[in-house]
Amino acid sequence: MTRPITVGVDGSRHSRAAAEWAAREAVRRGLPLHLVHAWINEPLYAPPVPDEPASQRLLQDHRDEVAGRHPELTITTELLPEMATAGLVEQAAGSELLVLGTRGHGPVAGFLLGSVGLPVITHTTRPVVLVRSGPDDGPNDLAPAEDTEGDEIVVGLKDLGEPAATLLEFAFSMASARGAAVRAVRAWGTPSLFGSTPPEEFEGTREHTDLQAQRGEELVGVLAPWRARYPGVPVIEHVRYGNAAEVLLDAGSLHAALLVTGRRTRRPLLAMRAGPVTHAAIHHARTPVAVVPHGD
């Protein structure tokens, strides 16, 4: 059965941006779009009084807006009679992607995920894409126009084993659908806390040159089967010495249509569930961010 692209909507401009991004992706990939709304909000002190008619109207308004821009798209809606976090995690399990809107406030404050986004990211077993709305405060502010999106899917690779295969499968399928390139990013080294560039006494040395070449050759080897599988997708190897989060954000700052990062589904009990690089990406990237879970 065909999995839809599912979007969580709440009536905000952020969810409208997410719905528009998801609609474009569904059209590119020939998938249906599923709009969902959890009509019971996350309670802070006491459970809210649900308003089912208002929630149904909200869903219909979102559907009408998307259908008006994408009449060729198959769109379904569903009202979730449960808390948003639990409902979205459950919906993600049967979806190709789960797409959420999130508030963007520039490179310092970054993404403000609130009480729903981060728990959903850390509990779902399916990819989640976070889309921020544009800089304006107008009610109709949507995702950036399609012709202004970047032309690269930027994917950060740490481990070059099974986790890399999961992330590359996602990145190449997204790139193939939109005619984009894949920029595979690998950071290496142990940079100083005070800078992300190699120390002066190390940069330009034979050791630095040899290690850079070695890391590049390893990345080329990992990418080889994906080049063969997707011969029409241009591939860029991006190997840099430095902090992994800084290297990834820098690589995605110019031409990225989507920044792809991973999240381990098996982590120590007290570890950050999303990982430091993923946290940096979802808080500071200017482009949509895909968080792809993997088992290792």
Counted domains in the chain = 2
What is the mean predicted confidence (pLDDT) over 13-37? 94
- Please tell me whether residues 219 and 116 are part of one structural domain: no
The CATH number covering residue 17 comes to: 3.40.50.620
- Please tell me whether residues 196 and 235 are part of one structural domain: yes
- Please tell me whether residues 41 and 30 are part of one structural domain: yes
The CATH number covering residue 273 comes to: 3.40.50.12370
Instruction: Render pLDDT for 71-113 as a digit per residue (tens, 0 to 9).
Output: 999 999 999 877 788 889 999 999 999 999 876 443 333 344 4
- Alpha-carbon torsion 167, 173, 290, 86, what sign? negative
Which of 147, 171, 200 is a domain's end point?
147
Instruction: Render pLDDT for 114-171 as a digit per residue (tens, 0 to 9).
Output: 556 777 888 888 999 999 876 544 444 566 666 668 899 999 998 888 889 999 999 9
- Please tell me whether residues 202 and 217 are part of one structural domain: yes
pLDDT of residue 7: 95
- Please tell me whether residues 44 and 170 are part of one structural domain: no
Provide the domain limits for residue 45. Answer: 5-147
pLDDT of residue 43: 52
Q: What CA–CA distance (Å, rounded) separates 131 from 8?
A: 11
- Please tell me whether residues 224 and 111 are part of one structural domain: no
pLDDT at 25 over 90: yes
- Please tell me whether residues 138 and 158 are part of one structural domain: no
pLDDT at 275 over 70: yes
pLDDT of residue 93: 93
- Please tell me whether residues 157 and 80 are part of one structural domain: no
- Please tell me whether residues 135 and 176 are part of one structural domain: no
Which of 117, 147, 177 is a domain's end point?
147
What is the mean predicted confidence (pLDDT) over 274-284? 83
- What is the overall mean pLDDT for the chain? 82
- Please tell me whether residues 123 and 179 are part of one structural domain: no
**198 or 134, which is more confident:** 134
- Please tell me whether residues 12 and 114 are part of one structural domain: yes
